[in-house]
């Protein structure tokens, strides 16, 4: 950890959308099999739009991997490696270490190469957290992007450590025994920040400029960096595919998934939600069928109110960490 933040070290370049739209970028090619309305391809697109150097990408097993590499085809336009569900961070660490060794032996040119790992919440919050922790603790120069669709969507919509409280999944069904998932999600961003790496941030596909700025900061770090990307899943969330961006906006407007960064230990809000503009959590829940049982046939105000209290508590906690008073 250094005292000089990434923000101070790297002067931000303006994001010129017109020029970027016509630039040749190593993003996903057309024809991949991801669902209509899926936010994962946008997560990849905005990440790769932010790159300025050659990149090597790693994807663990998950929606993104299986839908972009249907044998014998691939939608990836950059060097790409598929790895097991649990070890995206470990494989990315090996690639980064290998590049350093080859440069040290003058086997390849000494230049910046981005190593970017993509993994879902299942492969990050749960079965991949050990590999992630190891990569962060060792300080490999890589960027880890978690596309959080809040469940094991690829294998049957089972609950994960990221699944919201009260959400119905195939392993936490909303019924008479339990009203959806009975636990609140773990805070993976703070877990990553607790490793004292240089850069950790949350991003959202509804805010592309903020997304690209943060990826650029992550890539500018000479340490491991972690990005949490909110990624709506129309299929698992039982939401209309046309509402993906609106759901992503509501995630921020309700403060369920706030936008902030931890730059060399300094917490900083990148999207302030004023008190009078804060949207009730209920509006976010109503957009998704996975919360339908909280409203019909009998309204579950206990679950809805507990969710609101938890969100308010987490928001106040974040404001204190950022040194901001609620407006």
Domain ranges of the chain: 6-322
Query: Contact at 8 Å (CB) between 248 and 205?
Result: yes
Please choose, from the candidates 212, 316, 218, 306, the residue with its C-alpha nearest in 3D space to the C-alpha of residue 258. Answer: 316
pLDDT for the residue 25: 73
Handedness of CA 163, 169, 174, 176 (dihedral sign): negative
- 226 upstream amide cis, omega within 30 of 0: no
pLDDT band per the 50, 70, 90 thresholds, residue 38: very high
pLDDT at residue 190 tops 80: yes
Q: What is the pLDDT of residue 18?
A: 66
The C-alpha atoms of residue 266 and residue 281 are separated, in whole angstroms, by 28
Of the ranges 27-36, 73-82, 145-154, which one carries the lowest mean pLDDT score? Answer: 27-36
Average pLDDT, the chain: 94
Choose between 286 and 6: higher pLDDT. Answer: 286
Q: What is the per-residue DSSP string for 186-201?
A: P-HHHHHHTT--SEEE
Q: Which CATH architecture has domain 6-322?
A: 3-Layer(aba) Sandwich (3.40)
Considering only residues 75 and 1, tell me which one the structure prediction assigns the higher pLDDT. 75
pLDDT for res 142: 98
The answer, yes or no, to whether residue 23 has pLDDT greater than 80, is no
Give the model's confidence band at 17: pLDDT under 50 very low, under 70 low, under 90 confident, else very high: low
- Quote the percentage of the chain above a pLDDT of 70: 96
Average pLDDT over residues 315-323: 97
Alpha carbons 136 and 72: distance in angstroms, whole number: 34
Instruction: Name the DSSP class of 198.
Output: S
pLDDT at 2 over 60: no
Q: What's the pLDDT at 173?
A: 97
Tens digits of residue pLDDT in 122-151: 999 999 999 999 999 999 999 999 999 999
SS3 call for 182:
coil
pLDDT digits (tens, 9 = 90+) for 280-309: 999 999 999 999 999 999 999 999 999 999
Instruction: Find the distance separating the first CA and the last CA of the chain, reported in whole Å.
Output: 32
For residues 64 and 9, the model is more confident at 64
**Mean pLDDT, range 205-223, rounded to an integer:** 96
pLDDT at 22: 65
Question: Of 216, 226, 72, nearest to 135 (Cα)?
Answer: 226
Give the phi and the psi of residue 298 in degrees, each rounded to 5.
-125, 130
Enter the pTM of the model.
0.95
């Amino acid at each position: 950890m250094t005292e000089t933040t990434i923000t101070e070290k790297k002067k931000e370049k303006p994001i010129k959308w017109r020029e970027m739209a016509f630039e040749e970028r190593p993003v996903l090619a057309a024809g991949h099999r991801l669902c209509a309305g899926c936010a994962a391809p946008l997560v990849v697109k905005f990440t790769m739009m932010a790159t300025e150097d050659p990149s090597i990408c790693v994807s663990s097993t998950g929606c993104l991997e299986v839908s972009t590499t249907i044998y014998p085809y691939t939608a990836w336009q950059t060097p790409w490696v598929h790895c097991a569900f649990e070890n995206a961070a470990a494989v990315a660490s090996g690639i980064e270490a290998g590049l350093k060794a080859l440069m040290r032996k003058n086997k390849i040119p000494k230049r910046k190469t981005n190593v970017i790992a993509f993994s879902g919440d299942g492969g990050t919050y749960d079965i991949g957290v050990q590999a992630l922790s190891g990569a962060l603790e060792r300080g490999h120069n890589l960027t880890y992007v978690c596309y959080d669709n809040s469940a094991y969507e690829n294998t049957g919509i089972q609950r994960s450590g990221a699944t919201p409280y009260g959400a119905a999944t195939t392993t936490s069904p909303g019924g008479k025994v339990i009203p959806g998932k009975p636990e609140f999600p773990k805070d993976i961003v703070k877990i990553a920040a607790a490793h004292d790496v240089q850069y950790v941030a949350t991003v959202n596909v509804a805010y592309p400029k903020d997304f690209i700025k943060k990826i650029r900061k992550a890539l500018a770090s000479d340490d491991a960096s972690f990005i949490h990307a909110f990624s709506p899943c129309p299929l698992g969330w039982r939401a209309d595919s046309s509402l993906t961006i609106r759901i992503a906006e509501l995630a921020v407007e309700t403060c369920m998934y706030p936008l902030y960064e931890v730059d060399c230990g300094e917490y900083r809000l990148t999207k302030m939600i004023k008190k009078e503009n804060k949207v009730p959590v209920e509006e976010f829940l109503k957009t998704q069928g996975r919360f339908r049982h909280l409203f019909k046939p009998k309204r579950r105000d206990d679950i809805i109110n507990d969710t609101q209290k938890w969100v308010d508590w987490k928001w106040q906690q974040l404001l204190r960490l950022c040194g901001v008073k609620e407006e």
